[in-house]
Amino acid sequence: MLDEDRCKQYAIRQKLTEPKEDFGLVQLIEHLCGIQDQVQGSVYLAAKARLKNVTADKIQKDLWERRSLVRTWTVRGTMHVIIASDWPMFRTALRPEWEDRWSRYLQKYATWKQRELAAKAVLEVLDNGPATRAEIQKGVEQLLGTKSEWLTNLLSPWGGVLKDLAYWGEIVHGPQKGSEVTFVKTKDWLPQRLPFLPEDPDAALSQLFLRYLMAYGPATIHDFAYWSGVSVVRVKRALHLVKGQLRESDHRYDVAFSMEELENAEPAEIAFLPKFDCYLLGHKEKFYLQQQYYKEVYRPAGHIQSVILYKGKVIGVWTRSKKNRRSGMDTKLFSPLDADIQERVLESAERYLAHEH
């Protein structure tokens, strides 16, 4: 049996409320510590589930014109959209994980010397402005005078040397060229007056932990390690730095969250969330999902399905559909629901996918 109160409180802290929140997109992304952006359109759909007024065009303007948002690799080594002023915190907190753990697969393809050579060449290419992966590869091959397999592997879509440079703080994503993503030097792209942050990775991680708890708490150290991808050893060091600012109960930590805010808000009765939504990635324990349906949501090879929530509980999954003209999606509910609830699910589905641009 799921803990309904815990599911409701989690939905509220994730800004899945009824009525929807009326604050800005940038504030939402700051609160959630970023939105994963592995799948096209996921940032828009995650925001639309939580905000009254959001458009895909506004997201593009915040990313590429106002530059209040930035797209780069952050937690778990995955692509996220975060707020620009948070970039120093993520970079400093996560750099050791990339260097010591997440990038180990590159040791099969290239030496540290080769990674450094490739990184230097990439930065030379980007001196001329934003460039696509193909443009970077062509320029690097010319600079190094080689098309060796190690170089091809370092410039593969998995990230390679581009991830090296991202976690070293040298590059972020730039505006698209047609359908192609580009990369740009951070110093040329982000505002020069970013907040000062100590260069101690554990201090930065402790600040990230505090921020995480606002949207995902109460949570255990293992939940935070699962969400961030960092080692439990580092989480414990970060916790030690801020433990005096936290409340603890049953091995779960939390910040001083306003209970009045939770009591005065209502979770959305029905919510649709896109693939890899942060709601599904915040905790190791899936307290909002009945165990027998785990494999319906968390699929092989790390794939996480789009889900339907009912008052914070996962009750089904959904996929886009051209055949379903009413809602534009096919739904699969895990167990039968009252006819009136099923009708409200369909009505919510229509609103969710309507007017995507």
Closest CA to 79 of 142, 147, 158: 158
* CA 275/CA 168 separation, integer angstroms: 28
Residue 316: the pLDDT is: 96
Using the structure block, give the residue that is written with the tokens 């997440």. Answer: 102
* Amino acid letter for position 52: K
* CA 8/CA 288 separation, integer angstroms: 9
Mean pLDDT, range 144-169, rounded to an integer = 95
Mean pLDDT, range 185-192, rounded to an integer = 90
> DSSP state, 272?
E
Identify the band that residue 217 occupies on the pLDDT scale cut at 50, 70 and 90.
very high
Average pLDDT over the chain, rounded to whole? Answer: 92
Closest CA to 35 of 80, 76, 67: 80
Residue 348: the pLDDT is: 86
Identify the band that residue 353 occupies on the pLDDT scale cut at 50, 70 and 90.
confident
Which of 140-144, 153-157, 209-213 comes out lowest in average pLDDT? 153-157
* Neighbouring C-beta atoms of residue 37, cutoff 10 Å: 23
What is the set of domains in the chain, with CATH numbers?
4-11+267-353 (no CATH), 101-190 (1.10.10.10), 201-261 (1.10.10.10)
Identify the band that residue 23 occupies on the pLDDT scale cut at 50, 70 and 90.
confident
Residue 194: the pLDDT is: 76
Closest CA to 288 of 299, 297, 276, 275: 297
**DSSP H or E segment with residue 23:** none
43: tokens are: 């940032």
Q: What is the pLDDT of residues 277-330, one digit of tens each?
A: 999 999 999 999 999 999 999 999 999 999 999 999 999 999 988 777 777 888
Residue 195: the pLDDT is: 74
Residue 221: the pLDDT is: 98
Q: Is 222 exposed, middle or buried (0-12, 13-18, 19+ CB in 10 A)?
A: middle
- Which whole-number Å values give the CA distances from 173 to 129, 137, 313, in the listed order? 12, 16, 35
Does residue 96 have a cis peptide bond before it, meaning omega lies within 30 degrees of 0?
no
Mean pLDDT, range 212-238, rounded to an integer = 97
Identify the band that residue 196 occupies on the pLDDT scale cut at 50, 70 and 90.
low
List b or e across 126-165, with b for residues whose CB sees 16 or more CB atoms inside 10 angstroms: beeebbbeebbbebbbeeeeeeeebbebbbeeebbbbbbb
DSSP 75-111: GGG-EEEEEGGGHHHHHHHHHHHHHHTGGGGGGGT--
Q: What is the pLDDT of residues 333-344, one digit of tens each?
A: 998 888 888 888
Has this prediction a pTM greater than 0.75? yes
Residue 152: the pLDDT is: 95
Mean pLDDT, range 198-206, rounded to an integer = 91
